[in-house]
Amino acid sequence: MLKVSIIDGHHQPQSRNTQKGVRYFQNAYVDLGGAYPQHIELPIKAPSEAHPIGDYNVSISSFQVGRYKNLELNPFELSLDPASKAKAQ
């Protein structure tokens, strides 16, 4: 599974104004097997839904079959399962 890490100092939810309203997200890092983790933005519905600091695996429910029968991640609903117990804030 893909390992996603939410680290201290980069865990606060953020917002961005768009034409359709406010979009909330949380910064995280994903390990794709390279030399360094890659920075990503996790979509969240509200700041109260931000994930605690810790390591997570991408849930199987986050995958979908795309328009051309390819496997892809749902960019609007990225569910995470704790890899181990997440640190409480």
Domain boundaries, the chain: 3-82
pLDDT surpassing 60 at residue 87: no
Q: Report CA dihedral (71, 74, 79, 81) to the nearest 10 degrees.
A: 20
- Please tell me which residue, 3 or 84, carries the higher pLDDT value: 3
Q: Which CATH number fits domain 3-82: 3.30.70.980, 1.10.3720.10, 2.60.40.10, 2.40.50.140?
A: 2.40.50.140
Which distant-in-sequence residues (6+ apart) come within 8 Å of 30 by Cβ? 2, 3, 4, 5, 37, 38, 40
Q: Each residue of 19-67: pLDDT tens digit?
A: 999 999 999 999 998 899 999 999 999 999 999 999 999 999 999 999 9
Supply the Cα-derived Rg of the chain in whole angstroms.
14
In angstroms, rounded to a whole number, what is the distance separating the alpha carbons of residues 1 and 56? Answer: 9
- Any idea which residue has 């961005």 for tokens? 16
pLDDT surpassing 90 at residue 78: no
